[in-house]
Structure 1
Amino acid sequence: MEKLKKLFGTIHTKQGAYSLGLTAVAVAVVIVINLVAGRLPESVRNIDISDNQIYEITDTSKKMLKKLDKKVEIKVLAEKSSTDERIKTFLSKYAALSGKISVEWIDPVLHPAALTEYDTSSNTIVVSCPDTEKTTTISFTDIIVYDQSSYYMTGQMQESQFDAEGQLTSAVNYVTSEETKKIYRTSGHGESTVSTSLSELFEKANLSMEELNLLMNNEIPEDCDLLFMYAPTTDITEDEKNTLSEYLKNGGKMMLISGAEDQETPILDAFMEEYGLQMADGYIADTERAYQGNPYSFFPEINASGELGEGMSSNMVLLLNARGMVETDPARDTISVTPFMTTSENGFAVTEDKQEQGEYILGAVATEDEGRLTVISAPMMIDSQLTDAFTTVENLKLFMNAVTSNFDDVENTAIEPKSLAVTYNTVQYAGGFSLLMIFGVPAIILISGFARWMKRRKA
């Protein structure tokens, strides 16, 4: 016993016991913290430090999920252990935002009858609403999108986009909505073709689209919720003008994106003037808000409020080769015009012979009773060549807001995919976490080292 007392009475034994006690306390603290963290909501305990914030959920989805008043069932037909971690993580975070959403994983290998029941294949998400009895499916390949062209260049398929939020919000909106809005897109005047990206946004917003030739149909269908004319290159006829005017007078909704400056459309211009908007000659330049010194490529001033401004975080919309409008006296006092996109006071309407300075309208809404005409005078605004090259601008967001603001019971739930391109930690592209790693940690080490050196020096 005396030897044992001496053994535990040495300085080394006391230090060892002290270290062991501290280790035990540290382990206990870690266990308690993990137990507490496990009880926290998914949105609190998971911090998104991924490239391009692929797990970040926009206010659009949060607002929709907060107002959700119907139960939504999400069944994932896949083997959970082999599913991409990004999909599992996002599903967990998304479902945690609403008590109305339930998620169930069904292994199709163990339960092959589920594939027959939902008439789909494995690696698919089935979203349904018992109240409306509507169901839709989302394939994993619609969430993690691959660049097909990269296969022909490199021989390998490369991931290009992560579209979990856009697909899920669209699906939830679809299954809980009672009806789908119908958009008729005019043809017969050399109109531009709607890009694939824009078509997908229409589908996500629960909007269907069908073509309508006004030359062959002198009446606009009764189920038309919005008439869309996209950058016509030839003029409309007087009969078509009368059809459009009558449609708006009876409470119709129309959206017009004007064509290029070199196209003469006097009848269409006269139709616009009836609603207080006159086209300016030439192309628009803005020396104050130019992009990289090119005044014909500029960022307009956005004056959108309410539904038009919903979800606009930066108000950065890029226009190229735009035309301009000026407000004029409408044909009737009952018509009112509200611009939502303009140049600065240093805007110019430029032709070969002259240039006139002023503040020009680039987007406006003209209303008369229930009728509504939305005009955007920048045909390149939603062109895929521009929106695909500048993925951070909010061109499509503003356009979709302008579309859905025509409907009282429809919100813009169309969310663009997030890029999976590699983001390098340069100062230009660094996010908050990256900036902390690049500048914060080295600064803390330097300051603490300097303070310790000063303390020792004084001692």
Structure 2
Amino acid sequence: MKEVKKITDQSRKRNLKYGSLSLAFLLVVIAIVIILNLFVAKFDQKFDFTNTKVFTLSKETKTIVTDLKDEVTIIVLEKAGSERSTNARIVGEYQEASSNITVQFIDPELNPNLLQEYGDDSNLTFGSIIVENGGKVKTLSPIDFVTLSKDQSKVKEIATESKITSAILSVTAKGEKVIYTTVGHGEEALNEELKQALENENYIIEEINLLTDTAPAAKESVVVINSLKKDISEEEAAKLKEYMSSGGKLLVIDDLYDADRKNYENILKLNGVQIQRSIVFENDMTHRLNSDKYVMIPEFGKHRIVDSLQESNYKAIVAYGQPIEILHVKKDNLLISPLLSSSKDSYSKLPDDIKVKRDINQEADDPIGPFHLGVVISKKEKGEEQPAMVLYSNSFFLNENLIKSSNKANLDMFVNSVNWLQDAKEQIVIRPKDISSSPIVMNNYQQILISIAVIFFIPLLIATPGFLYWYRRQKK
């Protein structure tokens, strides 16, 4: 009997001991969960595991909103309880990045007067976003925030950041920025896609006849000469020289023509460059789009115009490029940098040789690359670099098919060129973000659960077999 009582007492003590340990362990777990909850709630830490950082603002956007001087309000039209939608999460990043940005979530069904204040039912709906500053308003509809696949069946890209940042720039812009396209010499007009891209950057596009119109104001404008077929007159050349000497900027897009364009070419030479009238062909298969040697994927130079494209691994595509020669004899204040270049395995041929021989294959006497296919020109004045000219040696990169084939990298390069010439440092195109992979964004509670799993449950799973083995040994 005494033996039974002794065993019973030992069992009670053992149960009390392990019960106390279990209680202590439970209290520790609860304490850690509470501490983690308080910590996460305080710092509101979020993680963005998407490949293209859909929920993380780009450095370009952060620069823009950090430098904001005006108060900007972003109104998100969402149903109550939808504040964790994709657009709502992205908008929240703007408020965190700048104290001058206020974000409001409003349910239009509960606030019908809002629709009358900012627009009508046709352009404002659930998912719309309104960006406002001092009475200037930009409204964005849900369709603005996505790019669809070719068959229109699914969303390919999220454009929320690019659209909202553009809207912020629009409502905070001071004065008008004008792009003048020259006419009267057989120039190619900008297609609708190019015009729309420039208008999205808040530019006004106007035509200018250098012979009959007065020269534009140098500081607020860029003059675009796109595929000029006939020469400009001496009077027009004089206007362009005066315009550039006053700080005006040129975007020149050239093509191969037989016409004598002496006055036009003198403008290029005054800026330290000339175009060699030949066609570049590419032997390196990694720098070609397909079997056509004249459709090339050039190498980017190091410049703000193409840096964002290069970082995102996008490629430009050009066709029928001509070599651009940087002159040895030029003004000391000119700074010229390559923007696009063919590979060292490229070569060039004269058009007449191609016509006579009917052959584009490389011959022993053909000049070999690399060749510059695009350059940027700055002027150093008072110790500072001032944008002067961007020159491309072919206009085919603005062809709709090549824009599409380049995944719009060609389009972005064109717009970035205008922005650089306007010295709009912050306005380098922010590309929509690909969502081919599913985004994972954790809220506070998800982070806590994952933390508990990593700290406790996973070690517990590992320790359990060992504990069971030990327990069985003790019973024997």
- Is 1:376 paired with 2:373? no
| Alpha-carbon distance in 2 for matches of 1:199, 1:280 | 30
Within 5 Å, give how 1:15-414 maps onto structure 2: 15=18, 18-41=21-44, 45-50=45-50, 52-82=52-82, 85-120=85-120, 121-123=124-126, 124-130=128-134, 133-146=135-148, 150=151, 157-188=153-184, 189-191=186-188, 193-194=190-191, 196=193, 198-214=194-210, 217-222=212-217, 225-232=221-228, 234-238=229-233, 240-259=236-255, 261=256, 263-267=257-261, 268-287=264-283, 290-291=287-288, 296-305=294-303, 309=307, 313=311, 317-321=315-319, 322-328=321-327, 333=331, 336=334, 338-341=336-339, 342-351=341-350, 352=354, 355-366=366-377, 372-391=388-407, 394-408=409-423, 411-414=426-429
Worse overlay, 316-325 or 58-67: 316-325
| Alpha-carbon distance in 1 for matches of 2:11, 2:411 | 74
Higher RCO (CA 8 Å, separation ≥ 6 residues) = 2
Deviation at 1:308, TM superposition (A): 7.0
SS at match of 2:421: coil
- For residues 189-213 of structure 1, the C-alpha deviation after alignment (integer angstroms, 9 at most, x for no partner) is 24153352x4454234332222335
CA contact (8 A) 2:129 2:140 kept: yes
- For residues 200-245 of structure 1, the C-alpha deviation after alignment (integer angstroms, 9 at most, x for no partner) is 5423433222233557x4434448600112334x224425445434
Instruction: Give the TM-score, by structure 2 length.
Output: 0.72
Deviation at 1:248, TM superposition (A): 2.7
* Corresponding residue for residue 431 of structure 2: 416
| Alpha-carbon distance in 2 for matches of 1:6, 1:160 | 70
| Alpha-carbon distance in 2 for matches of 1:375, 1:73 | 39
CA 1:407–1:237: 2 relative to 1, 3 Å? closer
| Alpha-carbon distance in 2 for matches of 1:92, 1:400 | 28
SS at match of 1:137: strand
Worse overlay, 166-175 or 356-365: 356-365
Deviation at 1:59, TM superposition (A): 0.9
> Which structure 1 segments of 5+ residues have no match?
152-156, 425-444, 453-459
| Alpha-carbon distance in 2 for matches of 1:374, 1:301 | 17
Q: Alignment RMSD, CA only?
A: 3.8
Give the count of matched residue pairs. 407
* Corresponding residue for residue 437 of structure 1: none
